[in-house]
Amino acid sequence: MRMRTARTAGVLVLLTAVVMCAASAQVSLQEFERALYSIPASNPEFLLSTIELGMTQEDFPAEQLLGLIERLAEHPGEPFEKDAVLNVLAHALEVGLPIEGLVNKAFEGLARRIPLHQLESWLSQRMVLLAETRDLLYSKGIFSAPSRAPQTVPTAIPMPRFNLLLIHMSEAIGDFLEGGGSPFDGHVLYQEVYNRLTMLQGVTLVPDDVQLVLERIEPSDLTQVALAAVS
């Protein structure tokens, strides 16, 4: 019985994956509009405009975001609370931050039945971390550049690669703080970021990018980022 369930689930997962692959990149603004309507979102225009902005990002996780809005619609809770969760993502898109990590954490929060207002404040903190980490990279002369643009600065990393670095750095800091770490433990914090980046070096992160970051950041830089997130 269990075997059959497992097999059926496996086939379903495969089918879903195939369908999603076929449909990827074809998620339209209308689909987002419909999904937002089903919540119902109180400010769909604002959300749609930021989603449209996000769609210009090369690594915009369109299907995941659509899936999240649909799951939020089914989730128990007040529409205004769901709005608040989506607003965090909208603000991130507004300032050009990658939302993949936030979307994933939102899925996890919903699955864990975290109260929506807590989920919102949790995501806000993670968004601040993303923004602060990006500022840190910028201040160290590490920039992102559209993939196809000619590379003018040697430390300009193509956007998707830059975003992945950014997500992993800020998540390592966030996980450290959530595990009870103190922002003032700069060296431990640095070690966490170092571990995360080197574990993924050559896997999803480009070794040169990792080395560039590790050469330029210092423990005290990370303390500043962490403090901004907890204050």
Residues at the site binding other proteins, with contacts judged by CB under 8 A: 2-3, 5-6, 9, 13, 64, 67, 71, 104-105, 107-112, 114, 118, 122, 168, 175, 178-180, 196, 199-200, 202-204
Burial 109-147 (b: 16+ CB within 10 A, else e): bbeeeeebeebbebbbbbbbbbbbbbebbeebebebbee
**What are residue 38's phi and psi, to 5 degrees?**
-75, -10
Contacts of residue 26, Cβ cutoff 8 Å, sequence gap at least 6: none
* 24 vs 118 by CB, closer to other proteins: 118
Q: HSE of 45 in the Cβ direction (CA atoms, 13 Å)?
A: 0
Of 49 and 191, the one with the shorter C-beta distance to other proteins is 191
CB of 196 to other proteins, least distance (A): 8
Least distance CB 144 / other proteins (angstroms): 20
Q: Please identify, using beta-carbon distances, which residue of 10 and 40 lies nearer to other proteins.
A: 10
CB of 151 to other proteins, least distance (A): 26
Whole-number CA gyration radius for the chain: 19
Q: Which is nearer to other proteins, 156 or 214 (CB)?
A: 214
Q: How far is the CB of 185 from other proteins (least distance, A)?
A: 15
| DSSP 8-state class, residue 40 | T
